[in-house]
Amino acid sequence: MSKLTTKVVSQRRDQFLASWREYASAATFAGVSLEQFETESKKPLEVRGRMMAVRTQLGGMKLERDKVDESHSEMLTAIANGIRADPAHGPDSPLYRSLGFIPKSERKRPRGRAAKAAKPATPPEGDADAA
């Protein structure tokens, strides 16, 4: 038997219920009555409903997480700046280095680059009066 998608299973459920009600509402198949089938077939719908609610909550929680992360990032920056400004520690301390920053004494000076000679502008081809 091939795998059935959620959409197909829901359609088949509705088809089974409609056909069973129409043609054999009093019959029992595989030990299951129509009423039992209706009760059991509601369970997947309830689970899907709960899943949708959780997806909605997750979307809200992601937004909340992003806001909290942004606030926390600002706090980390403020603390790093405080360590840099603290006379007992500063930007050349083991604490500053342990936080993943490059201490002042280990920084390399930027190397200067030779300026490139500018090329003279070439006049556009064609007659200047034609424009």
| Residue 125 belongs to a domain | no
Each residue's pLDDT tens digit, 41-100: 999 889 989 999 999 999 999 999 999 999 999 999 999 999 999 999 999 999 999 999
Q: State the amino acid at position 25 in one-letter form.
A: S
- Is 79 domain-assigned? yes
Is residue 119, in this structure, part of any structural domain at all?
Answer: no
CA distance 89 to 83: 6
Among 88, 72, 108, which residue's Cα sits nearest to residue 96? 88
Range of the domain at 85: 6-106
Within-domain flag for 131? no
Question: Across the chain, where does the E strand assignment appear?
Answer: 28-29, 32-33
pLDDT at 1: 47
What is the predicted pLDDT for the residue at 128? 58
Whole-structure pTM over 0.85, yes or no? no
Total count of domains within the chain = 1
Question: Looking at the domain assignment, is residue 100 inside a domain?
Answer: yes
- Cα 16 from Cα 40, distance rounded (Å): 13
The verdict on residue 116 lying in a domain is no
The answer to whether position 120 is within a domain reads no
Percent above pLDDT 90 for the chain: 58
Let me know: does 49 contact 21? Beta carbons within 8 Å.
Answer: no
Give the chain's mean pLDDT. 87
